[in-house]
Structure 1
Amino acid sequence: MVKFYNRETKEYETEQIAGDTYLNWTYSSPVGMRLLELIIKKKLFSKLYGYYCDSKRSQKKIASFIKNFNIDMSHSEKSLERFESFNDFFTRKLVKAARPINNILETLISPGDGRLLAYENIDLNKLVQVKGYTYSLNKLIDEPNIVSKFSEGTCLILRLCPTDYHRFHFIDNGTCEDSKKIKGDYYSVNPIALKKVPELFCKNKREWSIFHSNNFGDVLHIEVGATCVGSIIQTYTPGNTIKKGDEKGYFKFGGSTTILFFQKGKVKIDDDIIEQTNKGYETKILMGEKIGEKKY
């Protein structure tokens, strides 16, 4: 059972997990963990499932998924009958009114939907994966000259569930460099898995880039894949001028994670998010929503 904080209602809620029985069994039983290491974490497993989710045969999954997880289709640009595959539905674009962008220049917005953890004054060698479990930023991207820029800065971990909107966006005006790919495994990024697999973020497939933000300095943007995420798709053009809220890319089927690193003294994260993180709870966030502000 995974609980998170809803900042709108100011109450804790229990997350609906797609495939929760399978997930608990896999990461909690000896047989499940053996299958995880032999098959499930491998690229081929996720790739084969990705082929299925890209096929027309997967259309039949869409209606039940919408019903079981109470997906609000009034937010979708496409109607149900227009989706050609499950991944077509999963990576759906939303109407602009569904995710309004806070365009105040000094305001930091969330890059996507999901559950957010925020850490300030970070130790680059002891980044928090989940309470009690840490990893090193050097292991995450292995670029010491870049990593050193973010010492004592701020780290945001945005975890996307399969039920979330799966496109991710830029948090400010600016320009972004090329995205670099790092091969890896395909563990789940659910907190159940994060407690079982040490340094999971450093083991999974991931991509990273440096975003030169107009208001928040250089930002390290990392996308982490997960079980059944066949692809991380970047849709931006490196070097082009970017506007706050512009799309950066999207994840195909599965839960995934976006991690942002900010330099010291550039941002102040909203107090309620920091408070919930310190208590060990993620905060539910929508793309475009205010999560912090520029620090002077």
Structure 2
Amino acid sequence: MDIYYIDRNTGKKEKEVVAGDRFLRWLHDRKSGATALELLIKRKWFSTLYGKMQDQPFSRKKIAKFVSDLSIDLTEADRKSIGDYRHFNDFFTRKLKKEARPICEALDAFASPADGRLLAYADIDQDKMIQVKGMNYTLKALFQDEDLAKGYHGGSCIVIRLNPSDYHRFHFPDGGIPHEYTAIKGQYYSVNPIALNRIAEVYCQNKRELTLFQSDEFGQIAYFEVGATCVGSIIQTYQPKQRVEKGDEKGYFKFGGSTVILLMEKGHIKIDEDIINNTNRGFETKVNMGEKIGGKANFLLTEI
């Protein structure tokens, strides 16, 4: 199965270069791969061990081929030379120059929290969230908290899938006050579309971290980071209960593609139409951290 997305800058459909494509297809298309996935690959110790290997000096040898195979633009990074990185994870979690990701400044603009391929849904049903066409999950299963889940029924959902080629730090989409994060234990399935089409409730099964973020303009946002195969760690760098501004860093993923999920309460955001239209057509939209992906809803809720 080839994976296509819409490049927002050009409006064109592009074919994704999948890191580890053969390995992923073996895991999900072959009986031997499926057995390895269930017995080994989805386990915490496997991803932890693999992640620790990417912290070793010998892993630097992988960087040049990784950059070449995935066409990564090194001019955006704060360190241009591959030789400036101590190991592979040092490169994978690289920071970018400030000018490489300008933040939309308008108060009513909702900024993308990460680079990645984005799907977005309005007027969501807490009991029928879309993973892929024909495969759903519930907010109760995602939150592991029924009362919290109910608060986002009828609201909006943004799912940003980070490809291994992407910048892997995630940020705040608005100014506000973030609370302490909650870690939810789980497995380490891939979040690539190949896996999403074959494994039910991946987001609810995988390890994830949840932060409730009281934003200035968009109400209370439920901010999830979802781990995946070979994601060594989710690292939070923000300070709980201290004010942040739009675009401030929240944290980063060590090696592996992964996912950020944002849930907004009803009546607080209007997601940009091109993103909604692409989602309805079955395509992710490629976005960069800091660019506008929505705005304040132009109506107020009224009590019934």
* Shared fold (TM-score, shorter chain, > 0.5): yes
Task: Report the Cα offset of residue 145 of structure 1.
Answer: 2.0
Where in structure 2 are the equivalents of 1:237-256 lying within 5 Å? 237-256=239-258
Determine the structure 2 residue equivalent to 1:46.
47
The count of residues paired between Structure 1 and Structure 2 equals 296
Matched, 1:18 2:19: yes
SS in 1 for 2:222: strand
In 2, Cα distance between equivalents of 1:48 and 1:177: 30
1:213 aligned partner: 215
Structure-2 separation of matches of 1:158 and 1:14: 17
- AA at the equivalent of 2:162: L
Instruction: String of CA shifts for 1:91-136, please: whole Å, max 9, x gaps.
Output: 0000001000001010011000000000000000110011211001
The alignment-based identity, stated in percent, is 52
**What amino acid maps onto 2:22 in structure 1?**
T
Q: Distance in 1 between matches of 2:128 and 2:222?
A: 17
TM norm structure 2: 0.96
Q: 1:172-196 CA deviation, whole Å, 9 max, x = no partner?
A: 0100000000111110000110011
3-state secondary structure, aligned to 1:179: strand
Rounded to whole Å, the distance in 1 between the matches of 2:232 and 2:98 is 27
TM-score by length of 1: 0.99
Which residue in the other structure is 2:63 paired with? 62
Distance 1:132 1:166 in 2: 29
CA distance in 1, matches of 2:8, 2:51: 34
Partner of 1:196: 198
Secondary structure of the structure 1 residue equivalent to 2:147: helix
Letter in 2 for 1:117: L
Name the residue aligned to 2:92.
90
Shift of residue 47 of structure 1? 0.9
> Which residue does 2:151 correspond to in 1?
149
Equivalent position to 2:188, from 186, 189, 199: 186
**Structure 2 unaligned runs (5+)?**
299-304
Per-residue CA distance 1:156-205 (angstroms, 9 max, x = gap): 00000000000000000100000000111110000110011101111101
Cross-structure match for 1:235:
237
Aligned to 2:140: 138
Confirm whether residue 9 of structure 1 aligns to residue 22 of structure 2. no
> Are 1:119 and 2:90 counterparts?
no
What SS does structure 2 have at the residue aligned with 1:292? strand
RMSD (Å), alpha carbons: 0.7
Q: CA deviation at 1:31?
A: 1.1
Instruction: Establish whether residue 73 from structure 1 lines up as the match of residue 74 from structure 2.
Output: yes
| Secondary structure of the structure 1 residue equivalent to 2:54 | helix
Provide Cα deviations, 1:127-155, integer angstroms capped at 9, x if missing partner: 00112110011111211222111110000
Further displaced range: 22-31 or 257-266: 22-31
Match of 1:100 among 99, 102, 107: 102
